[in-house]
Amino acid sequence: MTPRLLPLLALAAVLASACAIGDPSADLDGEWVLDGGTVDGAALQLVDGTRISLALDGATVGGIAACNHYGGELERDGARVSFGAMSTTEMACDQPVMALEAAYLAALARVDTAARDGDRLQLSGPGVQLDFALVLPLADADPVGTNWVLESLILGDAVSSVVGAATLRLDADGTLSGSTGCRGFDASYRIDGGTLEVRDWIIDMRPCGAENAGQDGHVQNVLEGPISISVSGDRLTLMSGANGLDYRVGD
């Protein structure tokens, strides 16, 4: 009986593995966040305070790869997938974060299989496995009384990563405070429907370094703007013309 039993056991293991990764034909669209993975048998070393996200919308791919924003295209035929070359922003972060980003993007390029099981997504390929959790929709945060942390700069059709800790807070008394990532500021504000008006600026006059100057000017230009304001879940977006600021709820 043993010679017959071994093939049956092998088949059972294959079937169990197939069930474990869920339905390969399921809809993959949504925003996912990486919470584990392996590359050539070694665990990906996630870094506290960083976020690796994967946003899928049909054939469009985007997200944050620990430090930089990235984007590209996805080809899919059932369980078979292929991620094309990814474009990325060119911000520099601490070495452990950059090492994680490089490992993630290299692993993504090796992925050839995708399957979803409820709110879990597994991407795998030769020597790699990436495990993601679905980012569930959140109730819209209140723009007032919330601590907002700047996550990206919007420049027309491009999105850029943030240097340093840039923040924003709108208080119920009509005052506003925050940081460009380089300099702190205070002001008064008024919200009228989907419009935000910022007035009476007081900004720290210390100079910014070369790495912060562009972001500092961009934040000021948007906030001096006419500004449209919108909230979706835990995200606050301020737009002035084609340029904007994308914030996420902070601590």
pLDDT tens for the chain, 251 residues: list them.
433 433 333 333 333 333 345 566 689 999 999 999 999 999 999 998 889 999 999 999 999 999 999 999 999 999 999 998 899 988 788 899 999 999 999 999 999 999 999 999 999 999 999 999 999 877 889 999 999 999 989 998 888 888 888 999 999 999 999 999 999 999 999 999 999 999 999 999 888 988 889 999 999 999 998 999 999 889 999 999 999 999 999 98
Phi-psi region of 173 (alpha: psi -120 to 50; beta: other; left: phi over 0): alpha
- pLDDT score of 22: 58
Question: What residue ranges define each of the domains in the chain, with the CATH number in brackets?
Answer: 25-134 (2.40.128.270), 147-249 (2.40.128.270)
pLDDT computed for residue 10 by the predictor: 37
Torsion angle defined by CA atoms of residues 136, 196, 155 and 221, in that order, rounded to the nearest 10 degrees: -140
Which pTM was predicted? 0.64
- Predicted local confidence at residue 196, as pLDDT: 97
pLDDT of residue 153: 93
What single letter denotes the amino acid at residue 223? L
Mind listing the pLDDT tens digit for each residue in 3-28? 343 333 333 333 333 334 556 668 99
- Give pLDDT, residue 3: 39
CA distances from 161 to 1, 94, 141 (A): 62, 14, 23
